[in-house]
Structure 1
């Protein structure tokens, strides 16, 4: 599991971005990859999965 902070999340469109606290990289997250609801600035844990345009955050939970 990796840890990060939700930089942006749009409830209406169902997607956002999570910044990995260890690497500083940002990963796309889609509402289908959420386990719990998230908001901007939430601390979360997540896993990475290859998507159509690179790595996506999945199994996203509040830390």
Structure 2
């Protein structure tokens, strides 16, 4: 954890693999720290296994304001 904090101390570009709860939380924290964030998700939508399509669409619109999503 300390190594990750040290690497995130200086703003830069961060790629997060996975658009589940944890991946999106890490992306939000990195973005709040000033990083340019890209979330890579292999499924059609973020959090596909755990939320409805409507909640996923809302999340993607919210995330798109601060991070990019590719998949």
Relative to the length of structure 2, the TM-score reads 0.22
Flag the structure with higher strand content.
1
- Structure with higher Rg: it is 2
Flag the structure with higher helix content.
2
Relative to the length of structure 1, the TM-score reads 0.23
